[in-house]
Structure 1
Amino acid sequence: MRIKHSSLNDQTGISKSGCDDLLWEYDSHQVDYSSAESHYEELLIEMERCLYEDLREESIRKELELYEEEDEYLARAVFEHMQLNDGQAEEKGSIWCPICKQGEVRENDHHLIYCTICNLQLDLGNDKMNLEFLRGRLGEVHEEHLDKGCKATPSFFMETGFNLTALYIRCQACNTFEIVL
């Protein structure tokens, strides 16, 4: 029996492991027939092992493709949702909160930017920054993150250091870490 090349493997795109070449080049004429039965048994077991290994690799490949498709779909949905929220926010003159994603970010007369739901509070003091500047910065950091090709959703958080409180963006998937405001 000599099977060197299978067209089925080419059609399915299943990769062959290194042992497959030796396995399929098995020549029964070189076998001592007194031990032929044990050799055939070993050969069948090895063929079965290679078959299951190929099936497992194909299953993993298909599963990874499904995960990639799902990630791409979710990234598009998040991006479209962000655009929709941005459009609604521009119409109302408000900004959605980047931390809790539920509240509305507002600015009061004392140059304090705050969220109506969570603990987001930025005291701008005498800085020349305002709500419109924050809107622009949020758009910039989101765009920069998407331009890196990362499909994960970044998180935003507040941190105080050296008596200054700042808003940061962080993404664990692509190691993005940047100050927003």
Structure 2
Amino acid sequence: MPSSSTPSSPKQTPTTMTQFYIRLQEGICGGIKPATPRLLLEITSPGEGAPSIKSSERKQGTKVFKEQSAEVSAEQINGLASELKEVLAGLPTEKPRGAEDIYGLDTSIFFGSDELEWRNGGPEGFSFPYPLVDVRAKECETGCTPGLYESDIQPTAAQKAKFKDLVEKIKAIASSSLQ
């Protein structure tokens, strides 16, 4: 005798990104010499297989990076990736690229997914296609030289706070996963 029950509808789940790349770098301000990275954090979700976190940290005064890596569960980083996608889509980047560290943290975030690619940067090397500014008149929060020219785009205080919050969240997830 056939069953009279109706088939259940598939369970609805929020959309999650399965493939994305997050890279945080501390030490992005260069000048005559290229930038000297202090910390590189990479979080990769390849779509298939376990997501991973890699950390390379250089202690002050040394040239050697201490590297760590770990696999993490998708649940640990999917929320972060979704938040990054949402928040970064509303944050400006410097224009022209590499003109200045507009967030003043000597830190960059690169985020890549099928839906969004976002990256901020800082000054490196010398090229002069734009008007020079007096670099002595301005300093980054970390004390780095801001660059030879100003960005045409500047974030608001609220946007700077959002960027700083994202940096702290990326570092917190990496720190807890690599212990």
Shorter-chain TM range is under 0.3
Give the TM-score taking structure 1 as reference length.
Answer: 0.21
From the CA coordinates, give the structure whose radius of gyration is larger.
Answer: 1
Q: Which has the higher helix share?
A: 1
Give the TM-score taking structure 2 as reference length.
Answer: 0.22
Q: Which has the higher strand share?
A: 2
Q: Which has the higher contact order (CA 8 A, sep 6+)?
A: 2
